[in-house]
Chains A and B, each alone.
Chain A
Amino acid sequence: MSKPSKKMTLNKKHNLMGWLFLAPGALLILLMSFVPMFRALMLSFMTGVGASMKSCGLLNYTRMFKDTVFIQSIKNTFFYLIIQVPLMLIFALILASILNNKNLRCKGLFRTMIFLPCATSLVAYAVIFRSLFANNGIVNLVLVKLGILDAPYSFLTNMWSARIVIIIALLWRWTGYNMVFYLAGLQNIEYSVYEAAKIDGASAVQSFFRITVPLLKPTILLTAIMSTNGTLQLFDESVNLTDGGPANASITMSHYIYNMSFKYVPNFGYAAAMSFLILILVAILAFLQMKVGDKRD
């Protein structure tokens, strides 16, 4: 009879331990993120120029659906999300499983080289990409030499090519970054599992789909949520590669929010309201991803 009650207290103790473990991190997030977020939320119901603000109800929230530039930025951002995130994650997963091969030579070198793009500082990355895709840049040079183009094409000033350059830049910069998580995740899978599969006659492709992908599911979920979040808040590429152009064809939501806060006559209420739209969008997508991916077997 005493056994179950002892178990109860042990469970209770563990439960309490859990809260203690997560308390510092959770409290810091509460203070550093949720308190300012709450203030931003209050701000999103206010309007005015600079320091003089007055209450305006839901005006900012209805306003954004009449804002043609903002609607354009939502479309652009979702275009990036739909094309770039799946491509990048698949590519990173393939690279990680190749580089996890025990028999591969120069693994460390390859890994470092593939990671390098995301270590490159933003300034260099922007200058490099702009010069690669310049009218007299290498990309044009090669395409003209190969006879694919007759004359240099102005990649960054045409609507679709500008968007595609942004996607290429994102893929280049973040694939290696995501690969890191997959590589780290793969280490928690016993290598002998792969060897056993090999003995059983499984091909590399089969073990990729039957072992790697299922066992990496928690990590895949993590990267999917992070990339979705990162893309919906995309800022650097839009600002530094195309400056949102041509004619707002590549501007992102965050870039527009930034302009609204710091470039234009500051309208913090409106900027805050648009930011909360991003929160809602990311939260919905993350919720769906969690539904699919966050099950403990």
Chain B
Amino acid sequence: MYAFLCVVSFFSVFPLYWMISAATNKSAEVISGRLIPGTYFVQNFKALMANQDVGRALANSFKYAIILTLVSLVVSSLAGYGFEIYHDKAKDAVMNIILLAMMVPFVATMIPLFQMFSTAGWLNSTIGFILPTVSTPFLIMMFRQSARSFPHDIMEAARIDGLSEIRIFFQMFIPTMRSTYAAAMTITFMNAWNSYLWPKVIMTDATSQTMPMVVANLTQGYVTDYGMLMLAVLICTLPTAIVFFCLQNAFAEGITGAVK
């Protein structure tokens, strides 16, 4: 079993290793396929700092990803809870309709959405950045599916104790579903962090560049500096990896303590 896990992990981690070693090599060495870490890290770092405003991009990315994740979790988990705990035929039907919303490629709805936002005066604003992805069918369904395992007897007991419905949600459901929240948070953070097309279309300031935009900028010139590019990619990857590492215990170490 360990051998199996080690093999799987090796394949998973190899590209990350490649990225790290590429970030320490010269561009010409990277495309010649050099796999051993080199000594060019400092030069790549200096070149990247001179070329792009990485600090600002990181700050922007964190700002948008954190706001989006928090708002999105509240809105979507409320909805998922509402769909499951109070389910009836009408709500199940609405849920099915909501699922349709994710089935059309974004490129097809982007221009009408842009039109709406331009009418509302939300181009180039934080609200314009986050609003389209605050509520996603995916997250709602995720919370709906996991609310299915929220024990009904606990709810009944709480109701008899006189807790209001909204307090049951905040005081019972959220702590019980810690693992679902942690998983949802990881995924939402990652998606928000990596989002590119919509932010690019709606944000026009140079000052609102995010980390993925910095990475994209670096791939555009007539000459690509692969060492520098991979360093930027590494910086762009780390936050999600760290978020995952910090949250993985929360979503995988069980919540049995909370359900008693």
Choice from B9, B82, B104, B132 contacting A19 with Cβ under 8 Å = B82
Query: Given that A25-B140, A33-B109 are contacting pairs, would A187 and B79 also be in contact in the complex, using a CB cutoff of 8 Å?
Result: no
The A/B interface has a contact count, at CB < 8 Å, of 269
B113 contacts A14, CB within 8 Å?
no
Chain A: interface secondary structure? helix
Stretch at the interface among A61-69, A114-122, A148-156, A157-165: A114-122
| Cα–Cα distance between A95 and B255 once the two chains are bound (Å) | 20
Q: What is the interface residue range for chain B against chain A? A: 35 or more
Measured CB to CB, the closest approach of chain A to B138, in angstroms, equals 6
Complex contact B104–A279 (CB within 8 A): yes
Tell whether, in the assembled complex, residue A110 and residue B9 are in contact, meaning their CB atoms are under 8 Å apart: yes
Interface assignment of B221: CB less than 8 Å from any CB of chain A: no
CB closest residue in chain B, given A113? B9
Within 8 A of A (CB), among B44-101: 75-76, 78-83, 85-88, 91, 94, 96, 98-101
**B residues within 8 A CB of A35?**
112, 116
**Contact of B33 with A116 in the complex, beta carbons under 8 Å:** no
B255 → chain A closest CB, angstroms:
6
Within A99-131, which residues are at the interface with B (CB < 8 Å)? 99-100, 104, 107-108, 110-125, 127-128, 131
Chain A residue numbers with a CB within 8 Å of B135 are 24-26, 28-29, 32
- Given the known inter-chain contacts A112-B244, A187-B254, please indicate yes or no for A22 contacting B94, CB distance below 8 A: yes
Asked whether B105 lies within 8 Å of A275 as measured between CB atoms, the reply is: yes
Determine if B36 is an interface residue (Cβ-Cβ < 8 Å): no
Please state if B12 and A187 are interface contacts (CB–CB under 8 Å): no
B199 → chain A closest CB, angstroms: 14
Task: Determine how close the nearest CB of chain A comes to the CB of B219; give it in whole angstroms.
Answer: 6
From 159 to 217 in chain A, residues with beta carbon under 8 angstroms from any chain B beta carbon are: 172, 176-177, 180-181, 183-191
Q: Cα distance A61–B101 when bound, in Å?
A: 20
Contact B182 A191 (CB under 8 A): no
Whether B113 lies near A36 (C-beta < 8 A) is yes
B103 touches A (CB below 8 Å): yes
Q: Contacting B138 at CB < 8 Å: which of A40, A180, A226?
A: A226
Q: How far is B16's CA from A262's CA once the two chains are assembled, in angstroms?
A: 32
Closest beta carbon of chain A to B7's beta carbon, Å = 11
CB within 8 Å of B: which of A71-119?
95, 98-100, 104, 107-108, 110-119
Q: Whole-angstrom distance from the CB of A25 to the nearest CB of chain B?
A: 3
Q: Say yes or no: is B207 at the interface (Cβ < 8 Å to chain A).
A: no
Contacts of A31 in B (CB 8 A): 116
Least CB separation from A192: chain B residue:
B256
Q: Which residue of A24, A36, A39 contacts B75 across the interface (Cβ within 8 Å)?
A: A24
A206 to chain B, nearest CB (A): 17
Q: CB < 8 Å: which of B8, B35, B108, B255 contacts A272?
A: B108
Instruction: Map CB proximity to B onto A206-243 as digits: 1 under 8 Å, 0 otherwise.
Output: 00000000000011011001100100110100000000
Which chain B positions have C-beta within 8 A of A261?
A: 107-108
| Whole-angstrom distance between the Cβ of A278 and the nearest chain B Cβ | 6
Whether A114 lies near B8 (C-beta < 8 A) is yes
Q: Please give, as numbers and ranges, the residues of chain B lying within 8 Å of A290 by CB-CB distance.
A: 96
Question: Complex: how many Å from CA A253 to CA B165?
Answer: 45
Query: Given A24-B79, A121-B236, A190-B256, do A111 and B8 touch, yes or no (CB 8 Å)?
Result: no
CB of A292, distance to nearest CB on chain B (Å): 15
Name the CB-closest residue of B to A33.
B101
A29 CA to B137 CA, complexed, in Å: 8
**B108 & A40 in contact (Cβ 8 Å cutoff):** yes
Verify A184–B146 contact, CB threshold 8 A: yes
* Complex-state Cα separation, A115 to B85, whole angstroms: 31
Find out whether the CB atom of B187 lies under 8 angstroms from the CB atom of A36: no
CB distance from A236 to the nearest CB of B (A): 10
Write out the residue numbers on chain B whose beta carbons fall within 8 Å of the beta carbon of A272.
108
Q: How many Å from the CB of B259 to the closest CB on chain A?
A: 8
Distance between B22 CB and nearest chain A CB, rounded to angstroms: 8
Let me know if A18 is at the binding interface, CB within 8 A: yes
Contact indicator A229/B103 (Cβ below 8 Å): yes
With both beta carbons as reference points, the residue of chain A lying nearest to B94 in the complex is identified as A26
- B interface list, Cβ under 8 A from A: 1, 4-5, 8-9, 11-13, 15-16, 18-19, 31, 33, 35, 75-76, 78-83, 85-88, 91, 94, 96, 98-105, 107-113, 115-116, 131-138, 140-142, 145-146, 148-149, 165, 169, 179-180, 182-183, 186-187, 190, 194, 212, 215-216, 219, 226, 229-230, 233-234, 236-237, 240-241, 244-245, 248-249, 251-256
| 3 A-B pairs closest in CB distance | A18-B86, A21-B82, A25-B79
